[in-house]
Amino acid sequence: MNSNKKIHFEVSERKVLLKIFDVIFVLLSLYIISSIFDFKYFTFSTTNYYWAIVLAIYVNIFGSVFEMYNLQVASNQFQIIKSIILASSTTVLIYLLTPIYTPVLPSNRLQIIIFFVAIFGSLLAWRIFYVKFLASHRFVKKAVLVCDKEQLQELVTGLENADPHYKIIAFVNSDGEDSFNFKFKSIKNIHPNELENFVRNNSISEIVIASQKTEGITVSLYNQLIHLLENGFIIREYTQVYEAITQRIPVQYVSRDFYRYFPFSRSNQNHLYLLVSRLIEVIFSVIGLTIGLLFFPIILIGNLIGNRGGLFYTQERVGKNGEVFKIYKYRTMVKNAEANGAVFTTANDSRITPFGKFMRKTRLDEFPQFINILKGDMAIIGPRPERPIFVNEIAEMMPFYETRHVVKPGLTGWAQVNYAYGDSIEDSLMKLQYDLYYIKHRSIFLDINIIIKTFSTVLFYRGQ
């Protein structure tokens, strides 16, 4: 085993680390303050241990809502400060408003200020330490890529954009050519015969194989890979690495016999999961329609002034098993918006009225879709339903697109909370990768993650 190897953390381990130490720093700060100063609101004892448990849950939940566990945000000092302010303020507010599970509101308002400062200060101190001393050093993961030279730029960009601490520092050209123009200054081109020595001497965390030409894996290169594997070095196939880091399925690198690589989640056939999901959908739909009624007067007036057309409109969409249904939405475009035929809605579409743009950004235009959920046409979570004309067009150009229809379409989904609104085939491909990831990994935990991220999308005004 190479003693030069360094400790590194995987993406999921980093998120767990952040969540655990957020709680530790908050509770430690409150313990110190209660021990030194006259702070009586939050104290530690065997009789009120549940106060700490509830606070830990609130910190993690609102930290997730306000993106404190998004690794790109967590690694940026300015973005994380904004998230900490929002998360700590919301945590304190909700904690104060739930005195059944938390301490009774103090009569001395100074206690509340101390409580907030303790939570905010401890989170800020820990996260600045993370950014300065951990994120930029400990979490950097060095990798060597074995691939064809034509693939290099796309493969490197795909990985490093998703994880700022994942660095491809060298690559082995597997298409058999020794001499070619090499344009990457930060990535070293190493000869296949030098792979083993390079990995041993440069603290490499893993070797990623992305070659689609098996003849490029020569006997010499294969033997070196076997020696490295025997000595404890990690060797992984590119699609596995890509999926783990980006949390989407790289359909462009999976052959057409994709069932070997793409096992569907058992939750898709789990009757208990489906029954519980359906009950939750009905409850959420009733709540959603009730909330929608509260906004209805504002939407009605805004539509009369800003849209000057019918309040509701219906549109055909493709649902589960390819069945077509009518989706309900509030109007956000001018009348006769598609007089010249159906086209993708673009980010700054001139057909969208000013009030319609507000409706889309806040997702208020989608409240009528709770009717579709009650009818069973849609689910709360799933791929967004697309129009039949676009499904046929995209499916001809894009493999696996109709695989989205093995589950019900959703009001929100993994693609919607992870990718901005798209208006091109390239954007549809990216969203397809997220949709397939959801279908492959569908579970109650992923559903909860999506719900939390949906709140972030609405709060940060990221609607289409």
What integer is the mean pLDDT of 136-164?
A: 80
Residue 317 three-state SS? strand
What tens digit of pLDDT does each residue of 369-393 get? 999 999 999 999 999 999 898 888 8
Query: Residues 162, 126: one domain?
Result: no
pTM tops 0.85: no
What tens digit of pLDDT does each residue of 198-212 get? 999 988 989 999 876
Query: Residues 148, 63: one domain?
Result: no
Contact status, residue 169 vs residue 143, Cβ threshold 8 Å: yes
Phi/psi for 208 (5° steps) reads -110, 125
Q: What is the CATH number of the domain that holds 188?
A: 3.40.50.11060
Supply the mean pLDDT for the chain: 84
Among left, alpha and beta (phi > 0; psi -120 to 50; other), residue 143 is beta
Q: Please give the single-letter amino acid code of residue 187.
A: I
Query: Residues 162, 127: one domain?
Result: no
Last residue of a domain, one of 246, 279, 309: 246
In this structure, is residue 256 part of a structural domain? no
Q: Please give the single-letter amino acid code of residue 47.
A: T
The residue among 227, 278, 293 whose CA lies nearest residue 381 is 278
Contact status, residue 403 vs residue 431, Cβ threshold 8 Å: no
Last residue of a domain, one of 100, 135, 170: 135
What tens digit of pLDDT does each residue of 261-300 get? 566 777 778 888 899 999 999 999 999 999 999 999 999 9
Is the per-residue pLDDT at 360 higher than 60? yes
Among left, alpha and beta (phi > 0; psi -120 to 50; other), residue 5 is beta
In this structure, is residue 190 part of a structural domain? yes
Last residue of a domain, one of 214, 246, 278: 246
Confidence (pLDDT) at 116: 95
- Residue with more model confidence, 125 or 445: 125
In this structure, is residue 333 part of a structural domain? yes
In this structure, is residue 261 part of a structural domain? no
Query: Residues 327, 403: one domain?
Result: yes
Confidence (pLDDT) at 3: 47
Angle (nearest 5°) at CA 18 between 12 and 19:
90
The residue among 331, 324, 451 whose CA lies nearest residue 386 is 324
Confidence (pLDDT) at 1: 46
Is the per-residue pLDDT at 143 higher than 80? yes
Q: What percent of the chain has pLDDT over 90?
A: 33
Query: Residues 77, 194: one domain?
Result: no
Per the structure, how many domains does the chain have? 3
Query: Residues 286, 381: one domain?
Result: yes
User: pLDDT band at 47, cuts 50/70/90?
Assistant: confident
Rg (CA), the chain: 26
Domain that includes residue 183, residue range: 141-246
Query: Residues 299, 370: one domain?
Result: yes
In this structure, is residue 149 part of a structural domain? yes
Query: Residues 129, 62: one domain?
Result: yes
What integer is the mean pLDDT of 147-161?
A: 82
The residue among 359, 363, 370 whose CA lies nearest residue 302 is 359
Residue 449 and residue 218: Cα distance in Å, rounded?
43
- Which range, 326-340, 371-385, 396-410, is most confident? 371-385
Is the per-residue pLDDT at 178 higher than 70? no
Please name the residue ranges forming H helices in 97-218: 109-129, 152-162, 195-201
Question: Cβ contacts of residue 419 below 8 Å, gap of 6+?
Answer: 427, 430, 431, 434
Query: Residues 302, 363: one domain?
Result: yes
User: pLDDT band at 257, cuts 50/70/90?
Assistant: low
Among left, alpha and beta (phi > 0; psi -120 to 50; other), residue 363 is left
What tens digit of pLDDT does each residue of 61-95 get? 999 988 899 877 888 888 899 899 999 999 999 99
Is the per-residue pLDDT at 165 higher than 70? yes
Residue with tokens 């890509």: 242
How many CB atoms are located within 10 Å of the residue 313 CB? 17
Query: Residues 363, 330: one domain?
Result: yes
In this structure, is residue 251 part of a structural domain? no
In this structure, is residue 254 part of a structural domain? no
The residue among 362, 389, 213 whose CA lies nearest residue 302 is 362
Query: Residues 406, 446: one domain?
Result: yes
Residue 122 and residue 342: Cα distance in Å, rounded?
53
In this structure, is residue 6 part of a structural domain? no
Query: Residues 157, 234: one domain?
Result: yes
